[in-house]
A and B are shown apart, each in its own frame.
Chain A
Amino acid sequence: NAGVTQTPKFQVLKTGQSMTLQCAQDMNHNSMYWYRQDPGMGLRLIYYSASEGTTDKGEVPNGYNVSRLNKREFSLRLESAAPSQTSVYFCASKDVAGGSTDTQYFGPGTRLTVL
């Protein structure tokens, strides 16, 4: 049981390049999330997927797109990277049932630098 996995761990892009961050979970969770973490700003939600086939914008969606490929996988795409997107990106998943299961599990993060 690997939990939440993310690839790649590190990435350097030039301005204007595109890339896709991959996330997978093996806990059979319904909800998945993408956050970015910047110094002094905590974690900010980019997009989330409440269930397979649905996606919704979070707090900072501009410049990003997502795909919920299946129940396990949720990818984040930067179509034209900008230096402002230099950040650490975390994927998380959660069982949608709520109550005592209402806990997010996080991946190890992807450190992205845009030059």
Chain B
Amino acid sequence: AQSVTQPDIHITVSEGASLELRCNYSYGATPYLFWYVQSPGQGLQLLLKYFSGDTLVQGIKGFEAEFKRSQSSFNLRKPSVHWSDAAEYFCAVVPSGGYQKVTFGTGTKLQVIP
């Protein structure tokens, strides 16, 4: 069965510092990969997604993610964090061509200190 691991439950960074959130997946073939962000009391908003092609994908709010097949990873990055980025971030996978079930990671809560 497919699985998604986000090893960091909570991360704290200073405003202006760079950020990397880790995501590893376990699946036989390359799945579709997503990052979502959830602000407190809100639903999930899509940041970016990877289906195929260029392994570095750009998303909204200045985020990017790099797919590394050899490491089964899809880490989310941002060069300079803003206080408004404080939220919870979820990595998700769905089998390529299998459009029914999405598996979410357990989330990483980001705290930004001034």
Contact = CB atoms under 8 A, between A and B. Distances in A.
B43 A108 contact: yes
A92 B90 CA distance: 15
B17 interface: no
B102 A104 contact: yes
B104 A102 contact: no
Contacts of B90: 42-43
B34 interface: yes
Interface residues of B, number: 23
A45 B44 contact: no
A48 B100 contact: yes
A94 B98 CA distance: 12
Given A107-B43, A108-B43, A102 B100 contact: no
B43 A42 contact: no
A102 B101 CA distance: 11
B106 A45 contact: no
Interface string B20-61: 000000000000101010000111111001010000000000
Interface string B45-87: 1100101000000000000000000000000000000000000
Interface of B: 9, 32, 34, 36, 41-46, 49, 51, 90, 94, 97, 99-102, 104-107
